[in-house]
Amino acid sequence: EVQLVESGGVLVQPGRSLRLSCAASGFTFDDYAMHWVRQAPGKGLEWVSGISWNSGTIPYADSVKGRFTISRDNAKNSLYLQMNSLRAEDTALYFCAKEALAGNWAIDYWGQGTLVTVSS
């Protein structure tokens, strides 16, 4: 059974940094691209970033480019999101997500999310 378990979400002040983690199990982690998708309270889904199986392709949404860094450790079956210079508008539930097929961007498994609140 595929499982994606996010952690690291907390209440943090504007301008500070935070690192999210996602522990993956139930599939061959290094065969698949992974993504972070966020959802602000009461709002829609927003794609944040993705990373190919070998970390060779790493796109970002314009809203986080230059502030967030996605990475993965295939030996540890883990995905990460380093979030710097956090803003109030980064407040959201952050989902770790597995890509279904290489290059088609569909997401077939989602974690339950970890909540990041940016507030003073």
Partner 1 sequence: QSVLTQPPSVSGAPGQRVTISCTGSSSSIGTGYDVHWYQQLPGRAPKLLIYGTTNRPSGVPDRFSGSRSGTSASLAITGLQAEDEADYYCQSYDSSLSGVVFGGGTKLTVL
Q: Which residues bind partner 1 (CB under 8 A)?
A: 35, 37, 44-47, 50, 59-62, 95, 100-101, 104-108, 110-113
- C-alpha span between 101 and 39 (Å, rounded): 23
DSSP code of residue 119: -
- C-alpha span between 41 and 62 (Å, rounded): 20
Half-sphere exposure for 118 (CA within 13 Å, toward CB): 18
Let me know: does 114 contact 7? Beta carbons within 8 Å. Answer: yes
* Shortest Å distance, C-beta 118 to partner 1: 21
| Residue with smaller CB distance to partner 1, 23 or 45 | 45
* Shortest Å distance, C-beta 70 to partner 1: 12
| Residue with smaller CB distance to partner 1, 103 or 120 | 103
| Residue with smaller CB distance to partner 1, 11 or 100 | 100
Tell me which H or E stretch contains 66. Answer: none
* Shortest Å distance, C-beta 99 to partner 1: 10
